[in-house]
Every structure is written in structure tokens, then in C-alpha cells.
Structure 1
Amino acid sequence: MDIALQQVEYSYAKGTPFEKRALYEVNAVIPSNSYTAIIGHTGSGKSTLLLHLNGLLKPTEGEVRIGDLTITSETKGKALKDVRKHVGIVFQFPEHQLFEETVEKDIMFGPMNFGVPEEEARRRALELIELLGLPSDVSQKSPFELSGGQMRRVAIAGVLAFKPSILILDEPTAGLDPRGRKEIMELFARLHKEEGLTTILVTHSMEDAARYADQIIVMHEGRSVLSGTPEEVFAEEELLSSFRLGLPRSVAFQRDVEKLIGKPLGGIALTEEQLSASIAAALKEEGGQ
């Protein structure tokens, strides 16, 4: 299900003395089944933009199209619920979304809220407990008895349980250590492929954007200012710097190596693995001369 934003503008507290413009004429296309990263410095409009993608916010001007569904400033009621059937959001610290007395009930809440029968919702909950690598005996435990990492997986299961075709991740690794961050991001990458999801990652991590995304949208001061593949976006080093954004560590290190050896290594190394391969190839070429 494709997503298209056309001339989307949004103002908080519109028409009051406290009115503040957050988005300006944002245009973007997110193809079905793609993995898109939205990056930008704090206050660039990333979080405001993502809230438009399931109708938690409605554009002051312009429109958001999700497949055949359209959200404008006039959209109400059932139309917004129809959008939310297709779009799941994993917020920062998703464990804060937990509230039921058992893990099973917490995961079942979303699908039952959209009319899924209780037994089917229970079946989905048990499947997701296994899919997300949780112990089989957690279903009847309180989610608040679990470790932080397990609580986060339960919250993610609750989003996946109503089978969204679009999954939005708002800084999903916030507060995790490096190992936990890698585990969660690899989990989302696997779900993206296995479930055929359209995945949208809002992140401050240039490394995650480079490693996982098919395309990147750059936000700056409420505007979409740059988009393209990771290779295209991270090739615009001076432009990114003007938006107060850096490069992935692998690309920054690549530039240091290129200065040291006095020649380019080839294409942009978006990951440490690509950088290692590029350096090995350059050394082999140097040794063969």
C-alpha cells in the first residue's frame, strides 16, 4: 500500500495566539513494501510527520494518501479508523503502552478493538510470543514482571497483532544498549521481509538509516529537503552538514582512509562490512601492482 503526502502543512493550535507551524508543504512518496528512514535533527518535523500517517494528526493543508484512503483536515470518524487498521506505530519506549493484566490480554487488545474474535486474537498473541522470541510461559504473566527488553517485545507484538500492512517505528531503540539495539533492529528487518511490510523508521541514527533503509527522507525545519537511496543521500555530505546531520560512522571513516591513501575506495560504504570489503579490495589492488 503506497503512501503519498501532497503539500502537507500542519500548525499546532491553529487560529490561536499560540499557533506554531510544524510542517511546510511536505511532499513525499513511500512505495509499498519499501523500508524508508526519515531523518533530521531535533525539531525538524519528523515526529509530527509520522503522526499524520495514521491520522493521529490531520494536515492543516494538503492531503495524506494511504493506498485508496485519503486524510485531509476534514477527515473524521470511520475513515480515520479505516486508516488505523492498516498502520501500526511503535512509539519511543513502547513498553509505556502496556496496561493489561497479562501479556496475552495486552497483545489481544488491538485486534479485538478492530473486531477480531477473541479466539483468533488469542491465536495471534501466542504466535507473536513465539515469533518475537519470548518465552512460551510469559502469556499469563503480568507484562510488568518482565525485563525491559521483554516488555518492549510485548508492546511490539501488540502492534503487530492487528496485522498492519504499514509499520512505523519512532526511535524504536531509544534507551537500549548496543546489543539490544542491534537485536531490535534485526528483528524489524526480518519482520519487514517475512511479513511484506511497508516499514517507516524515524531515527537519529545515521547508521540504522544506512544499513536498513531502501530510501531516506531528510526533514529540516518542517520541510522535506532531500530524498533518495542511502547512497544518494549520504553522498550529499555538504548539504547534510548544512542540515546539521552527520554521516554514518563507516562513511566518515571511509573518507579518512581515502585521504590517507590518496584515492577513493569506490562506492559509499554504508556499513562496516562494506567498508572492510572496500579496504581489502584496495589493499589487494595495491599489492598486485
Structure 2
Amino acid sequence: MDISLQQVGYLYAKDSPFEKRALQDVTATIPSGSYTSIIGHTGSGKSTLLLHLNGLLKPSEGIVQIGDTMITAQTKGKKMKEVRNHVGIVFQFPEHQLFEETVEKDIMFGPINFGVPKEEARARAHELVKLLGLPDDVLQKSPFELSGGQMRRVAIAGVLAFKPSVLVLDEPTAGLDPKGRKEIMELFHHLHKTESLTTILVTHSMEDAARYSDRILVMHEGTAVMEGTPEEIYSLEDQLHSFRLSVPRSVRFQRQIEKMSGQRFDRIALTEDTLAQELAKAIARKGERPC
């Protein structure tokens, strides 16, 4: 499901003394099946943009096109509900949204609310618990008896139970330790591949954007200022710095090595693995030179 934004603007508290512009003339494309990261400094408009992607906000100006559905300032509620059936959002700390007495009921709640028969919703809950690596016996437990990591997986299952074709992730690893961060990010990458999802990640982590994305959208002061592959975006370090952003640690280390050795790597090292490969090639080349 392709998503496009055409000159999208948004005003909070429009026509009031507290009016504040959050988005201005945002034009961008998110291709179907892509894994797109949205990066930008705090206050750049990332979260406001995210809320437009499943109709939680309507643009004050411009058009948000999600598949065949066009959303403008005049769009009515029925169309918004259709969009939410296709686009699932995992917010920061999604476990805070758990509320039912059992895990099974919590996962079933959303689909039933959207008209899915109870038995089908139950089957989805059982399927998702397995998919997310949770034991079957959690289904009849209270979600509040589970560990923090398990609660987060249950909350994610509740979003996936809609069977969305687009999954939007708003800083999904917030509050997790490094091991938990990696597990959750690998889980989303696995789901992206196996479920053929269009995945949109809003993140402050340059490393996650580099490792998992095939496209990056850069936000700055409420507008989209850069769009391209991770290789294209992270090659423009000076431009990123002007938007108060940095490059991944592996790229910073690469530049230090290149400066000290006087050798340029063949490609940008977006991950530690690529950095190790490029460093090994550089050492091999140096060893081949005659003394």
C-alpha cells in the first residue's frame, strides 16, 4: 500500500490564540513494501506526521493518500475508520495501553471492535502469541502478571491482530535495555519480511535507521528536507549536521580510520559488520603494496 503526502500542513489549536504550526508543506512518498525510517531532532514534526498516517489527525492543508484513500481537512469519519483498519500504530510504551483481564481478550478487543467474528479474533490471538515467541499459557493470564518485555509483545500482538498492511512504529524500543532493544527491532524486521508489510519507523537512533531501513525521510522544523536510501542520506554528513543530526557510530569510526590511514573505503559502513569488512579489505590492500 503506497503512501504519499502532498504539501501537507498541520496546525494545532487552529484559529485559536494557541494556534501552533507543526507541519509545513510536507511532500514525501513511502512505497508499498518498503521499510522507511523517519528521523529528525526533537520537535521536527515526526510524531505529528505519524498521526496522519492512520487518520488520527487530518491535515490542515494538503493531501495524505493511503492506498486508494485520500485524506484532506474535509474527510469524514467513515473513511478514517477504513484507513485505521489497514494501518496499525505501535506507540512508545505500548504496554501502557493494555487493559483487559486476560491476554487473549486484550488481543481480541480491537478486531472484534472492527467487526471481526469472535472465533476468528480468538484464532488470530492464538496465532500471534506463537508468532511473537510467547508461551501458549499467557493467553489466559492477566497481561499485568507478565514481564515488561512480554507485555510489550502482547501490546504489539493487539496491533497486528487487525492484520494491517502498514505498520507504523513510534520509538518502539523506548525504555528497553540493549538486549531488549535488539530483540524487538529484530522482531519487527522479521515481521516486515514474513508478513510483507510496509513498515514506517520513527526513531532517534541513527543506527536502527541505518541497519533496518531501505529508505529514510528526514524531518526538520516541520517539513521534509531529505529523502533517499540510507547510503544516500548518511553520505551527506554536513547536511545532516545542519539539521542537528549525526551519522551512525560505524560511519563516524570509518571517517576517523580514513583520515588516519589516508585510504577511502569502497562504501559507507552503515553497520559494524560492514565496517569490519571494509577495514579488512583496506588492511589487505595495504599489505599488497610493495615496501
- Short-chain TM bin: over 0.9
Distance 1:145 1:8 in 2: 43
Corresponding residue number in structure 2 for 1:65: 65
User: How far apart, CA to CA, are the structure 2 residues paired with 1:66 and 1:223?
Assistant: 19
Deviation at 1:263? 1.5
Offset at residue 110 of structure 1 (A): 1.2
Q: Structure 2 CA distance, aligned partners of 1:21 and 1:77? A: 23
Give a deviation string over 1:200-255, Cα, whole Å, max 9, x none: 00000000000000100000000100010000000110010010001101000000
Q: 1:100 corresponds to which residue?
A: 100
Does residue 244 (structure 1) correspond to residue 244 (structure 2)? The answer is yes
Q: Distance in 1 between matches of 2:181 and 2:155?
A: 16
The 5 A counterparts of 1:1-289 are 1-289=1-289
1:139 counterpart SS class: helix
CA distance in 1, matches of 2:33, 2:103: 29
Structure 1 gaps of 5+ residues are none
Superposition TM-score, scaled by structure 1 size: 0.99
SS, match of residue 58 in structure 2: coil
Offset of 1:285 from its aligned partner? Answer: 1.2
Over residues 257-286 of structure 1, what are the superposed CA-to-partner deviations in whole Å (9 max), with x where a residue is unaligned? 101111211210100000000000111111
Q: How many residues align?
A: 289
Q: String of CA shifts for 1:83-110, please: whole Å, max 9, x gaps.
A: 0000000000000110110000000011
- C-alpha distance in 1 between matches for 2:158 and 2:130: 13
RMSD: 0.5
Residue 282 of structure 1 aligns to which amino acid in structure 2? A
Contact (CA 8 Å) 2:263, 2:282: kept in 1 or not? no
In 1, Cα distance between equivalents of 2:81 and 2:230? 33
Shift of 1:34: 0.2
CA separation in 1, counterparts of 2:131 and 2:248? 30
Dislocated runs of 4+, deviation >6 Å: none
Output the amino acid matched with 2:163.
K
Which ranges in structure 2 are unaligned for 5 or more consecutive residues? none
Distance, in Å, in 1 between the alignment partners of 2:184 and 2:41 is 22
Greater mean deviation of Cα atoms: 70-79 or 188-197? 70-79
Distance in 2 (alpha carbons) for counterparts of 1:127 and 1:160: 11
Identical positions, percent? 74
Amino acid at match of 1:82: E
Output the CA distance in 2 between the equivalents of 1:101 and 1:28.
Answer: 41
TM (norm. structure 2) is 0.99
Q: Distance in 2 between matches of 1:149 and 1:103?
A: 14
Partner Cα distance (2:43, 2:9) in 1: 15
**Residues of 2 paired with 1:39 and 1:113: CA distance?**
33
